[in-house]
A and B are shown apart, each in its own frame.
Chain A
């Protein structure tokens, strides 16, 4: 044990006020958050495999040329949105709930990890998964579905899917702070699946029953879906109102998450 005592020097006094390299900290926190989720089969299954499978089934095999937009193009945009929303709701809703209940979040809080880094890493990870989903569907769509978008359309699709996950991260965070891990997946599915349907992510808004169409205006998934579709020029909607609606959703998500945090943390 003597060898250890000699090598185990205390930090020098002048280095005790030192600050770790913060950029590196943020990058590593994000990288390991990404790796952690990437290795969870049920997460990847729900978030990546599901949209890919849906796309293969409905986007490619039912891809008939008609008068309207081709299914391969339409569903590329809407399944990407479905994927990223699922990624955000599960990563935050179930992930935060689990980490909170297990005491892991407390350990992270006691460690000198800045709270913004904890949250930021999860948001950026969702964006990355959003990018991965669009890229996978794009690969399938371009090679097997004859999808051709302009460079600007692709950029718009990636941007809307990746940035559009933010309000859903916040709603997920509110769930994660208020629901125990046993209930969180159920609540997340309850939020995600009916709203994806009502929001027109599974079948076009126009073919939904009238009452559902009326509700869609209040469903954030609808606005993100339309935004992605308008980015690839499949719907004529101007992006402004949808961006505004998503902005409102973000503020509401922030309010819910803050309330849940205040109410449930001591």
Chain B
């Protein structure tokens, strides 16, 4: 693959005692939409902050266009949409855009940005008069106005309704199709799936899965079967659908692609099965199943 436009190389970041990111590798490529998927507090925003030079890694290295993310020439080539709770609201969309465009050497025409972001009808409205979704699109407009080669979108569709979200996705897709790199953070698998070529799942500061959307989705559809059984782990692993076996003593937790088949086989193989529970593995356990790296009480 070509040289990444931005990357984290074995990056760890800690806030005092708390490890926000641990040994994360992440590379972003031109023409690709990469989704950083994970629950709140997983470290997604920290990863974006490190890549955009807002914070420096405790260990490891963050690179943007082959250089330090804090360098001005590198920053002129990226666009950033962050989670902003309050934008100075006495200026209009057009005024904010006019100002942000002045930060870049080769900005897009304002009219084009307004069209792309779907903001033409409200361009002369002050920020205070915009709906939540319109505010998000206005922040998107500020992110793309410099004609960036790399676009960071931190939770971009918060506050958008379904229709606005789909329109927004279309814009992001077109943006990536024109040869740009996009990093999107989200806690919606649906959004990651709709947009990304690649999904990196992050939980509690670690990358727990990294793959194409269909791989991640398959893992996310998993169920977990919890019970007490006499069967050995080796036997359990052979049951239909089972991808992962964990547990101590007779208390086990199976991750399975087909809970019904697994349960049927389990019950016929061991009549003494006790305390049986079937649960959605949920996204998080799905991710853990992919890596098989963590204990059964991992889900937050």
Interface size grouping (class) on chain B: 35 or more
A110 touches B180 (CB 8 A): no
Using a Cβ cutoff of 8 Å, how many contacts connect chains A and B? 117
Taking CB as reference atom, which chain B residue is nearest A95? B88
Q: Are B175 and A8 touching (Cβ within 8 A)? A: yes
Q: Which residues of B contact A18 (CB under 8 A)?
A: 76, 105-106
The answer to whether A112 and B75 have CB atoms under 8 Å apart is yes
- B55, B77, B95, B173: which contacts A266 (Cβ < 8 A)? B55
A9-17, A69-77, A208-216, A226-234 - interface stretch = A9-17
Mask: chain B, 283-294; 1 = CB below 8 Å from A; 0 = not:
000000000000
0/1 string, A102-113, CB within 8 A of B gives 1: 111011011111
Which residues 18-38 of A sit at the B interface, judged by CB distance below 8 A? 18-21, 24-25, 28-29, 32, 35-37
**Cβ-defined partner of B180 (8 Å) among A10, A99, A266:** A10
A17 and B80 alpha carbons, distance in the complex (Å): 19
Q: Closest CB-CB distance, B98 to chain A, in whole Å? A: 7
State A69–B207 Cα separation when bound (angstroms): 74
A39: CB under 8 A from chain B?
A: yes
Which parts of B208-243 form the interface with A (CB within 8 Å)? none
Interface assignment of B53: CB less than 8 Å from any CB of chain A: yes
B139 to chain A, nearest CB (A): 8
Task: Count chain A CB atoms within 10 A of each CB in B88, B149, B178 and give the residue with the most.
Answer: B88
A4: chain B residues within 8 A (beta carbon): 116, 174
- Nearest CB of A to B153, in Å: 12
Given A8, A104, A113, A266, which contacts B84 in the complex, CB threshold below 8 Å? A104
Is B52 interfacial (CB-CB < 8 Å)?
yes
A25 touches B174 (CB 8 A): no
A window 83-107: CB within 8 A of B? 98-99, 101-104, 106-107
Whether a CB of chain A sits under 8 angstroms from the CB of B73 is: yes
Please determine whether A107 and B75 come into contact, CB atoms closer than 8 angstroms.
no
- Asked if A67 CB lies within 8 Å of chain B CBs, one says no
Let me know if A110 and B102 touch, CB within 8 A.
no
The answer to whether B142 touches A39 (Cβ under 8 A) is no
Asked whether any CB of chain B lies closer than 8 Å to the CB of A1, the reply is yes
B40 interface residue per 8 A CB criterion: no
Nearest A residue to B170, CB-CB: A1
Q: Is the CB of B103 within 8 A of A20?
A: yes
Check: B194 CB closer than 8 A to any chain A CB.
no
- Note all chain A residues with C-beta closer than 8 A to B126: 39
Q: CB of B248 within 8 A of chain A?
A: no
* In contact, A106 and B85 (Cβ under 8 angstroms): no
Q: Does A186 contact B (CB under 8 A)?
A: no
Residues of the B chain whose Cβ atoms lie less than 8 Å from the Cβ of A106: 49, 54, 82, 84
Q: Is B188 an interface residue (CB 8 A)?
A: no
B158 within 8 A of A: no
Chain B residues, Cβ within 8 Å of A102:
84-87
CB contacts under 8 Å to A, within B104-140, are 104-106, 108, 112, 116, 126, 139
Query: Contact at B84–A107, with CB atoms within 8 Å?
Result: yes
| Minimal beta-carbon separation of A22 from chain B (angstroms) | 9
In the complex the two chains form, is B77's CB within 8 Å of A28's CB? no
Distance of A63 from chain B, by nearest CB (Å): 36
Minimal Cβ-Cβ distance residue in A for B177 = A5
Chain B CB within 10 Å, residue with most, of A18, A109, A110:
A110
Contacts A5-B177, A10-B178 hold; do A104 and B87 have CB atoms under 8 A apart? yes
CB–CB B106/A15 < 8 A = yes
**Who on chain A is nearest to B79 by CB?**
A111
The distance from the CB of A18 to the nearest CB of chain B, in whole angstroms, is 4
Interface flag for B99 (CB, 8 Å): yes
Determine if A238 is an interface residue (Cβ-Cβ < 8 Å): no
In the complex, the chain B residue whose C-beta lies closest to that of A17 is B73
Given contacts A15-B105, A106-B54, A112-B72, contact A5 B174 (CB under 8 A): yes
B170 CB to nearest A CB, Å: 6
Minimum distance in angstroms from A16 CB to a CB of chain B? 6
A150 within 8 A of B: no
Q: Determine the distance from Cα of A110 to Cα of B148 in the docked complex, in whole angstroms.
A: 13
Within 8 A of B (CB), among A172-222: none
How many angstroms between the C-alpha atoms of A170 and B87 in the bound complex?
23
| Cβ-closest chain A residue relative to B105 | A18
Tell whether, in the assembled complex, residue A39 and residue B102 are in contact, meaning their CB atoms are under 8 Å apart: no
Closest to B77 in A: A16
Q: Is the CB of B98 within 8 A of A5?
A: no
C-alpha gap A162/B103 in the complex (Å): 27
Q: Determine whether the beta carbon of A111 is less than 8 Å from that of B100.
A: yes
The smallest C-beta distance from B186 to any residue of chain A, in angstroms, reads 17
Q: Does A143 contact B (CB under 8 A)?
A: no
Question: Would you give 8 A-B contacts (Cβ < 8 Å), ordered by A?
Answer: A4-B116, A17-B73, A21-B102, A98-B86, A102-B87, A104-B84, A106-B82, A107-B84
Given contacts A5-B177, A17-B73, 10 further A-B contacts (CB under 8 A): A4-B116, A10-B179, A16-B76, A20-B104, A35-B90, A36-B91, A39-B91, A102-B86, A110-B53, A112-B75
Q: Which 5 A-B pairs have the closest CB atoms?
A: A18-B105, A39-B90, A102-B86, A110-B80, A103-B84
| Interface set of A (CB-CB < 8 Å, partner B) | 1, 4-5, 7-11, 15-21, 24-25, 28-29, 32, 35-37, 39-40, 98-99, 101-104, 106-107, 109-114, 266
